[in-house]
Chains A and B, each alone.
Chain A
């Protein structure tokens, strides 16, 4: 049985309540436990707004959100936040602690966790993001990518069942980014941590189980990466798809449907062998 950990129905939200213009209009989707969902869309399409609504930082105008079976409202938002964690686009102004480890522990202190357990969790989270050496440093004096890792560790330590990443890895160098994505993927598979990742990186999105495509505050598509990328040709395609389209222009034998990296590699090997 796949349980739905996130259910959003008829969600409506506007920043300016006097304005008829809405930032998000009639959003409907649900996410299953253990799923990895990528949310993509242009700047200003409402991705960050959606993330803030999911954790109850903004109050919806209409519709409903339910996280891990709890209907989100003003009374339940504290309970909901025990199940869902959000890593922000820019962690710059969000460091509470004066050292990395103090900051990572902040969320654990808030749930009144005993010291011993807290210590273990902090250690574990720091290891996951590869920051163990910098644990005594001042987070506000770290580099952009390191800051993002601190922020991520702060949420990972809480072990939320749903992890929302709002472009949380954009400042990481490609190597550590790949590594971190791999770690997250492991968590996603082994401990069923549901991940909703807002991203502009189409290669990362192509790896997701499902893609949600936002356009001007509306959810215009939701489906497997292959479907979404073949249907919306205006999207910047992931590397494998870009390559396929390029090859297609050169040679007609290239298949006309979307291919994942693996499929493309297989096809290339096979066709190459035939030549």
Chain B
């Protein structure tokens, strides 16, 4: 369960850690969009330089990022293979029925691979350097305009932050219930699929029941402290937009210009 890197937070003091979550989220989402402007090796090169510099700035070891890509590697390779096999044009190396391996195919396969990996790297940078709670605050702040459309943004983000807060408890509890079942002779991960599924039932039932109890306790606690959904609330955690955040947005604009300039060749050399 500790293998998943995407979505985890690494405490630290880097410049990226000190940035406003809003800036990081905006820049992250913008990066994914601006990726599609690149169409030649020069522009991809620029994107790689940007990505690697950002990763370096996060102060997190490179191997951690690689671990972040690993769970998705098969999906990426699958997509890349499809791209290579079904794109034709340029010099053709192999041609069997609908399957062609061509110059163009290989190049666009490489580009797709780069896009995937850079998206994962950049989103990993955002989550590794931002506390989950700050991330929710940031999302909340950015989605605020949706309130006009009667979307309960505050409620959703409070829900999100409380869920985040309960995940460790739930994991602890799963461990406890599994240990309790083991003590009663259950063996997990043994036998055929049906048997394995059956052993999960005595885990999920207690977990479900205790989650309901927890939820009731939580609701009681929130209610006695005056929480009413839909009421106007102030916020204790303040987001502060600093100079480095403006700088970050500026960097994104420069990156965009760079890409447009490099792209204008438009050809694959």
Contact = CB atoms under 8 A, between A and B. Distances in A.
Interface in B203-247: 213-214, 217-218, 220-228, 231-238
Contact of A96 (B222, B231, B238): B222
B217 A95 contact: no
Contacts of A111: 226
A82 B234 contact: no
Contacts of A46: none
A113 B217 CA distance: 25
Interface residues on B, range: 20 to 34
B236 A101 contact: yes
Interface in A29-74: 52, 55, 57
A246 B226 CA distance: 49
Nearest to B213: A93
B165 A110 contact: no
Contact of B226 (A81, A94, A105): A81
B99 interface: no
A230 interface: no
Contacts of B158: 96
A13 interface: no
B181 interface: no
Given A57-B220, A110-B228, A96 B162 contact: yes
B218 A114 contact: no
A118 B234 contact: yes
B226 A88 contact: no
B251 interface: no
Contact of A85 (B161, B220, B222, B224): B224
Contacts of B168: 140
B86 to A, nearest CB: 47
Given A81-B226, A96-B165, A98-B165, A109 B235 contact: yes
Given A88-B221, A94-B220, A96-B221, A102 B237 contact: yes
Nearest to B169: A140
B156 interface: no
B234 A115 contact: yes
Given A55-B224, A94-B221, A154-B225, A114 B169 contact: no
A159 to B, nearest CB: 12
Interface string B100-115: 0000000000000000
Contact of A140 (B131, B165, B232): B165
A57 B222 CA distance: 11
B164 interface: yes
Interface string B147-168: 0000000000010011011001
A136 B133 CA distance: 13
A92 interface: yes
Contacts of A113: 234
A182 B128 CA distance: 45
A12 interface: no
Contacts of A96: 158, 161-162, 165, 218, 221-222
A107 B226 contact: yes
A57 B238 CA distance: 31
Given A102-B133, A108-B234, A110-B227, 20 more contacts: A55-B224, A81-B225, A85-B224, A94-B217, A94-B221, A94-B222, A95-B165, A96-B158, A96-B165, A96-B221, A102-B236, A109-B234, A109-B235, A110-B231, A110-B233, A115-B234, A115-B235, A119-B236, A140-B169, A154-B225
